[in-house]
Amino acid sequence: MNWPYIIFYVLAAVTIIAALGVVALPNIVHSALCLVLTFVGVAGIYFYLGADFIGLVQILAYAGAISVLIIFAIMLLLSREVSESNPSHGRGKWKAAIFAELFAFLIILSIYFTSWTHGIAPDWTDSIGKIAYMLMGDYVIAFEVAAVLLLGAVIGAIILARGEDKR
C-alpha cells in the first residue's frame, strides 16, 4: 500500500470516528467539538481530492463559522445538566442508526453500479483564482446580497435566542 491510500484512509477514519462521536457522546458540548473535527476531516478529504476551493470553504464556513454558531447556541440555550444534554443520546438512537446504515448501503450500491467515464479530466489549475474573479466580477451583486441575507439571519437568531423581555 502506498502513501496516498494511507492518507485517504486515515482522513476517512478520523472523519467517521468523529461523526460517530457527534451522535454517541452524552455531552452536547463534546458532540459539537466532534462535529468540528468532522468538518475538518471532510475538508482534508477535499484537499486530498484536489478541490482546494471547496476545502477552504469547508474550513472557513463550516469548521469556523457554523461550528462557532452551534457552540454559542448551545451555551445560550442550555438549561439542563451538561453531562446528559445530548438529546440524540436517548430513545430512538437505534432507529436512527438502522436508517443511517440503510442509507449508507444504498449510497455504496449506487456508487458501485455507476459507470464512471474516464475520458475528460477537469482543469484544476488556479481554480481559486477563477472563482474569486467571478465572485468579485460578474457575480458581485449576488455575493453581497447573500452576505446581507446571512447577516439578517444571524441577527434574527440572536433576537430569537434572547426571548421576550419580561417587564
1-108: CATH, from 3.90.1150.10, 1.20.120.1200, 1.20.1440.80, 1.10.3720.10: 1.20.120.1200
| pLDDT score at 91 | 60
Full-model pTM: 0.62
User: Cα–Cα distance between 106 and 99 in angstroms, integer?
Assistant: 11
By mean pLDDT, which of 54-58, 148-152, 157-161 is the weakest? 157-161
- Extract the C-alpha cell encoding 41: 476531516
Find the angle CA(163)-CA(165)-CA(166) to the nearest 5 degrees: 120
User: Cα–Cα distance between 60 and 54 in angstroms, integer?
Assistant: 10
Q: Over the stretch 90-143, which tens digit does the pLDDT of each residue have?
A: 566 677 678 778 888 887 888 787 776 655 555 556 677 777 777 788 888 888
Q: Calculate Rg over the CA atoms of the chain.
A: 20
Which of helix, strand or coil describes residue 34?
helix
User: Does residue 21 contact residue 36 with C-beta atoms inside 8 Å?
Assistant: no
Find the angle CA(157)-CA(87)-CA(24) to the nearest 5 degrees: 115
Confidence of residue 162 (pLDDT cuts 50, 70, 90): confident
Contacts of 136 (CB under 8 A, 6+ apart): 143
Q: Over the stretch 59-89, which tens digit does the pLDDT of each residue have?
A: 988 888 888 888 877 777 776 666 656 655 5
